[in-house]
Amino acid sequence: MSARVELARESDAHLVGELLHRFNTEFGDPTPGAERLADRVRELLAGGQTSVLLAGPRDEDGPRGAGGSSRGADGVAVLRFRPAIFSEALECYLAELYVVPERRERGIGRELMRRALEHARERGADYMDLCTAESDIAARRLYESLGFSNREGRADGPLNYYYERKL
């Protein structure tokens, strides 16, 4: 049974904020807190260059259930769009992908990614990039099974590296 994945609305920002806070907390990364993340998600969604997908059930009356429960949402994908340099299309960056621990290994991450790729194409993107830790074997396995590569140009090409620096 595949997960139900839908685009988040501004009214879902609280739930997205809670999931992103939970994600960072689980992996020991800094977080400004669920409420501040929800405020930022509202801003980003309103700006139009960000899309968020949520996996899990919706209440009958429309909004998702209370955040933090496994029945509110089971996972989230955050997509950031930018104009491409070498084509007229957009590029899509998968900024975050998270499935709550108690719902992992049920195909939710794969369904989020399948829908993320579909949504990016619908938005006019012809390229998606992402980064993940070398130690995150499950994520790497998922991304590679969907055709992502950390090799430049061909299967035996040189490794790609992702660098970052705080400013």
Average pLDDT of every residue of the chain: 90
Is the per-residue pLDDT at 61 higher than 50? Answer: no
Cα gap 72→91, rounded to integer Å: 30
- CA angle, corner 44, sides to 98 and 166, nearest 5? 70
Residues 55, 70: contact at Cβ < 8 Å? no
Q: Whole-model pTM?
A: 0.89
How many other CB atoms are found less than 10 A from the CB of residue 37? 21
Question: Residue 93: its pLDDT value, please?
Answer: 98
How many other CB atoms are found less than 10 A from the CB of residue 107? 15
Between strands 50-55 and 5-7, the pairing is antiparallel
Determine the average pLDDT of the residues in 50-62.
76
Helix, strand, or coil (residue 64): coil
Strand arrangement of the beta sheet that strand 5-7 belongs to: 5-7, 50-55, 75-83, 90-99, 125-129
**Domain ranges (residues) in the chain:** 5-130
Question: Residue 155: its pLDDT value, please?
Answer: 78
Cα gap 14→25, rounded to integer Å: 16
Question: Residue 2: its pLDDT value, please?
Answer: 67
CATH architecture of structural domain 5-130 = 3-Layer(aba) Sandwich (3.40)
